[in-house]
Structure 1
Amino acid sequence: MAATIILIKAFLCVGAFISILGLWHPAKALLGQMLLETAFKAGGEQPWPGADLRPIGKLQFPRLGIQKIILSNATGQAMAWGPAILGNKKFPDFKGLTIIVGHRDSHMRFLKDLKQGDLLKFITLNGKQLRFIVNAKRVVEKTLWVPIVTKNLQPEIILVTCWPIEEEGPTDKRFLVHLVSDN
């Protein structure tokens, strides 16, 4: 009887541990956005000691009530905390194409709910608001981004995450949301 109780407690502990591990990434994403919001309001300060990222702007999708802090570099570590700029883009110039990437299981899950014509506001560190409109959505092979990219110097944004959004694990597909300037 005592051995059975110990075994049940052990299984409960293992189950609790596995549950905590499963919630770690989404919890880190939520905590990160709160710390990054504070750093954004402070003008793009380092959000915590030793961080290799900084907030550079904020995305707002009014129809969905979604707001995300955008980070300065799309490293694997940075993307655990929030969506990030791909490449060495200087802000707030927004000349040509800007690519923002993020994980499908946390920060970019909402992309599936966007509709053509939805408004995006990009707020810079100095408070300037740039408006963009959802122009197109596509699922592509991860190596085939080129068809949606243009050489236009008008401000454009592509939001990228893995596809399918509701699944876990590696995938060879990417979900792209193309936005054009509405300024």
Structure 2
Amino acid sequence: MTATSTHVDLAHAPFRFVISLLALSGLLLFGHGAFIHAKAMLAQVLLERAFAETVATGHATKPWSWADTTPVARIAVPRLHASAIALAGSSGQALAFGPGHVELTPDAGERGVAVYAAHRDTHFRFLRDIRIGDEIDVTRSDGQTFRYLADATAVVRFDASGIDPEASGHQLVLSTCWPFDALVSGPKRYILHATMIGANS
């Protein structure tokens, strides 16, 4: 190897290092994203089993031994063939595994506004595809199913949603972060509102 070729190789060394570093960073980010989605999918399988057992036995069943929450409802959109098991509470830990039933809001089927929240890139990804007029079915842990009709959407600040849990009627709100394709969390929330149209025991 000549002195000239050695000089060229050394000149390109920092460039190659940067390219390698970027490639490694990309792989790590992809792996992290894949892990989050895999965890979400596995969690829903375990939650489905726990929810089915809860409905069958009438006793709240934890999805895994160390869980500090239990499944309380199944939210389904028949047209989209989409569903998710919701957990009691909307803490960060609960939302890592499924939609959360927001504290101090009534259960689905009860008078007022039942509110469920979830992440836009996993459990409530299907919210972007719901249309006004779509049916949303919520099955509670007691086996009762309540049918709702999607009738409005809004984008609001997380601290100015305007939702009154004690409002009249039997209403449902599904909430997630906005915009759907953002890479980081922001202050805005996408709100899907629905009104109850029936129930099946």
Q: With structure 2 as the length reference, what TM-score do the two structures score?
A: 0.79
How well do the aligned residues superpose, as a CA RMSD in angstroms?
A: 2.4
Other structure's SS at 2:133 match: coil
Deviation, 1:126, is 2.5
Aligned to 1:107: 123
Aligned to 1:23: 34
Instruction: Identify the structure with the greater helix proportion.
Output: 2
Aligned to 2:153: 137
Are residues 149 and 52 of structure 1, via their aligned partners in 2, closer, same or farther at CA, if it must alter by over 3 Å? same
Among 160, 163, 166, which residue is 2:175 paired with? 160
Other structure's SS at 1:63 match: helix
Deviation, 1:135, is 1.1
Quote the Cα distance in structure 2 between the aligned partners of 1:63 and 1:153: 28
Are residues 28 and 124 of structure 1, via their aligned partners in 2, closer, same or farther at CA, if it must alter by over 3 Å? same
Where in structure 2 are there 5+ consecutive unaligned residues? 1-12, 55-59
Quote the Cα distance in structure 1 between the aligned partners of 2:151 and 2:108: 21
Aligned to 2:75: 59
When Rg is computed on C-alpha atoms for both structures, the one with the higher figure is 2
Among 170, 175, 179, which residue is 2:185 paired with? 170
Other structure's SS at 2:49 match: helix
Aligned residues: 178
Are residues 123 and 35 of structure 1, via their aligned partners in 2, closer, same or farther at CA, if it must alter by over 3 Å? same
Deviation, 1:10, is 8.8
Aligned to 2:48: 37
The answer on 1:118 being equivalent to 2:129 is no
The answer on 1:68 being equivalent to 2:84 is yes
Contact 1:73-1:88 within 8 A present in 2 as well: no
Other structure's SS at 1:42 match: helix
Q: With structure 1 as the length reference, what TM-score do the two structures score?
A: 0.87
- Counterpart amino acid of residue 37 in structure 2: P
Aligned to 1:87: 103
